[in-house]
Each structure stands twice: as C-alpha cells, then as structure tokens.
C-alpha cells in the first residue's frame, strides 16, 4: 500500500514524488507536499531592486545598454513597456521607443 496521497484533481492513485512535489502521471497535476496546495506555475522575475515584475508593467533602464548588432544605445532612464516575461537569460520581452522589440535582462531595469 502506497503512503502517497491520491491526485486531488482526478483521484488517480498512481502519484509519485519529485523533490517537494507530488505529481499525477495521468493528468499532469502537481501540488506541494508541505502545504497540500497546487504548485505555482507562473514565472517569477524580479527587477534590480527585488520587485516582482508582471506582463504589462512599465520599467526604467538603470544602466546604458549597447544594442547588439547596432550602433544604438539604450540610455539610463529610458522607459520600457514589458510585453511579456519569458524564461531564459534575457527574461523580458519588450518594446523600446526608437529601437523596437527586443529582450532585456531583468537585472538592468527597475519598476517605474
């Protein structure tokens, strides 16, 4: 008899452990072992000051940034609108006035 709890979503008894999560192989539902709550699926991105960023936020550049493949520079204080947050090294997909769409690292921006 397994001591693992059944899946709260579909009731399957074939759950398994992965680090601190329980996972159901039948419906792919994940929930935490300690709290019994669902694991948060959202991407957590923080700015240079530690503030949480979300899609649609406005941020300000805190350092002059050279644009790769161009002679343009994004100056300190430039306001940028976040289109969406993505997973990767450059985790902000945004649009910069005068330059266009690009990706920035969250460590070079602060929430406006």
Angle at 35 between CA 31 and CA 36, to 5 degrees: 45
**pLDDT, tens digit, 9 for 90 and up, residues 66-88:** 999 889 999 999 999 999 998 88
**pLDDT, tens digit, 9 for 90 and up, residues 5-32:** 888 888 888 998 887 888 889 888 888 7
More confident residue, 39 or 47: 47
Q: Phi, psi (5° rounding) for residue 80?
A: -130, 140
């Amino acid at each position: 008899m397994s001591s693992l709890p059944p899946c709260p979503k579909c009731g399957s008894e074939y759950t398994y452990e992965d680090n601190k999560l329980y996972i159901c192989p039948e419906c792919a539902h994940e929930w935490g072992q300690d709290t019994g709550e669902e694991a948060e699926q959202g991407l957590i991105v923080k700015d240079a000051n530690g503030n949480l960023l979300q899609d649609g936020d406005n941020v300000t550049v805190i350092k002059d940034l050279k644009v790769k493949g161009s002679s343009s520079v994004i100056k300190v204080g430039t306001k940028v609108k976040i289109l969406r947050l993505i997973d990767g090294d450059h985790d902000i997909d945004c649009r910069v006035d005068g330059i266009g769409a690009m990706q920035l690292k969250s460590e070079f921006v602060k929430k406006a």
